[in-house]
A = this chain, B = another copy of it.
Amino acid sequence: MTKILVANRGEIACRILRTLRDMGISSVAVHSEADKDSPHVDEADEAVQVEGNDPAKSYLNIQGLLEAAGRTGATAIHPGYGFLSTNARFATACERAKLTFIGPTAAAMTTLGDKRSARSTAERCGIPVIPGARECDSPEAAQAIADRVGYPILVKAAGGGGGRGLRQVDEAAGLPEAFAAARREAESSFRDGRMLVEKFIHPARHIEIQILGDGKKAVAFGERECSLQRRFQKIIEESPSPAVSGSLRAALSDAAERLAVAAGYSNAGTVEFLLGPDGAWYFLEVNARLQVEHPITEARFGIDLVRAQVELALGGSLPAPAEPRGHAIEARINAEDPARDFLPMTGRVAALRWPHRPDLRVDAGLREGQEILPWFDPLLGKIIAWGPDREWARRRLLGGLRDLVLAGVPTNQRFLIDTLESDFFVQGETFTTTLESQSWTPPEPSKAMLVAAATAAAPPAPKSKSASPWRTRGSWRMGS
């Protein structure tokens, strides 16, 4: 009997748990003390509290997670994304504890999850890589590489991802501080302070290929364009990319499949590329796990990637790649203030109404009354629209974002709407630097919003005569 522990929280834990329920597989949720009332806890058949020094640490507590699996009789672990999903030590620990880790083997994860090792594997496969990317342990070593390839450069964590431990450096003077800050972030986020330096390709598009592997073969499931990023984190993703031709898609898919096969990669993974302004493309890195933006691939290919992950991990065979259809766009709803440098926001969800309409999918793990805590990623949920073409998917997504009500914590909702309505998005002119080069000012609240707020903030005097303070005072004056 298979029983799967989901070592994650939030929308991705909810999403995985729902597929497990549909598969008829028993599930176990884990949670920190602060998360004991979080929605993902309700989605599982059982829930176990795992200790941690802060609420996020519970999900990084390898020993605690293995104990939770042992106590509940779980036979497999799905790591989701983030947290321990790309931690080879965790994958190894699961293997030792005779738990099926739903992801690549620790060996493949080490080969492709580590940026340096992934790069040399790519080079051996004849896949182009970004000039100058070398590991360096000091600001001085970084400076030497930068001098060779020229500024701007990127300093980034060798063992990380998700935009943390990443800094752009435009000139030599800024390098030492950027290097130190990136390393601190890398150490705190990934417990791994190794850094890489590389040439900054500009303007570039971020194109990634979804793959599924069984250790011997690998199949590509098209590309996703994830160029729209703030603070190096993706915010709007789409598939297909408006910039990828059939021949480019074939080349990228072939490269991704070769890389996966070379590493003996099993389960779901993503191979990221940068597409330069001259049409040249470079291998960037491998995300050896499920991605936040996986639903846009699911919408086009009619596949449930979590189900495919579980089936592959349990010894199933690779699904046949279906013909993709139409266009899908995802928008991430974050608790953040786009008007103040996307500062993460906390608060309490005071009202929540997700949109419902054809070909619109909502992935979230949120409820009214829930406290948004500062220790976690600001992602509150995702809205994914599918359409027969890009324009229809864009309109559907806009419709969904306009219908969404999420009050009590500031979010990027209106920023997403304005971005999807911008000329650059309509024209598909999306680059990794697009959002940071645009300044966004929140629109003034409309007359209707102000009137609604004024009415609620200062309700009119009651109409009943006895209750009116004016009437009362008048009578008094008359009587005095």
Contacts and interface: CB of A to CB of B under 8 A. Distances in A.
Interface of A: 15, 18-19, 21-24, 295, 298, 302-304, 307, 322-323, 325-326, 354, 356-359, 361-364, 386, 388, 392, 395-396, 398-399, 402-403
Contact of A356 (B22, B354, B358, B392): B354
Given A18-B399, A325-B325, 14 more contacts: A18-B403, A21-B402, A22-B395, A24-B395, A295-B358, A298-B359, A303-B388, A304-B358, A304-B359, A304-B388, A307-B392, A322-B325, A354-B356, A356-B364
A91 to B, nearest CB: 26
A118 to B, nearest CB: 29
26 contacts: A15-B358, A18-B357, A18-B358, A18-B399, A19-B357, A21-B402, A22-B392, A22-B395, A22-B396, A22-B399, A23-B395, A24-B395, A295-B358, A298-B358, A302-B325, A302-B326, A302-B388, A303-B388, A304-B359, A304-B392, A307-B392, A322-B325, A354-B356, A356-B363, A356-B364, A358-B361
Interface centre among A356, A362, A386, A396 (most CB of B within 10 A): A356
Contacts of A302: 325-326, 386, 388
Contacts of A354: 356
A11 to B, nearest CB: 10
A25 to B, nearest CB: 11
A21 B380 CA distance: 25
A354 B24 CA distance: 21
A325 B21 CA distance: 24
Contacts of A395: 22-24
Nearest to A14: B356
A477 B253 CA distance: 84
Contacts of A19: 357-358
Contacts of A322: 325, 388
Contacts of A399: 18, 21-22
A22 B393 CA distance: 9
Contacts of A18: 357-358, 399, 403
A393 to B, nearest CB: 10
A391 to B, nearest CB: 10
A250 B402 CA distance: 42
Nearest to A298: B358
Contacts of A298: 358-359
Nearest to A386: B302
The 7 A-B pairs at the shortest CB distance, nearest first, are namely: A22-B399, A18-B357, A22-B395, A356-B362, A21-B399, A22-B396, A302-B325
A146 to B, nearest CB: 44
A356 B326 CA distance: 22
Interface centre among A18, A361, A364, A392 (most CB of B within 10 A): A18
A398 to B, nearest CB: 7
Contacts of A357: 15, 18-19, 22
A403 B39 CA distance: 13
Contacts of A325: 302, 322, 325
Contacts of A392: 22, 304, 307
A448 to B, nearest CB: 13
A359 B304 CA distance: 9
A323 to B, nearest CB: 8
A450 B321 CA distance: 48
A394 B403 CA distance: 29
A302 B299 CA distance: 10
Contacts of A323: 323
Nearest to A356: B362
A21 B15 CA distance: 28
Contacts of A359: 298, 304, 361
A35 to B, nearest CB: 19
A24 B361 CA distance: 21
Nearest to A24: B395
A302 B396 CA distance: 13
A323 B388 CA distance: 12
A210 to B, nearest CB: 15
Contacts of A363: 356, 358
Contacts of A304: 358-359, 388, 392
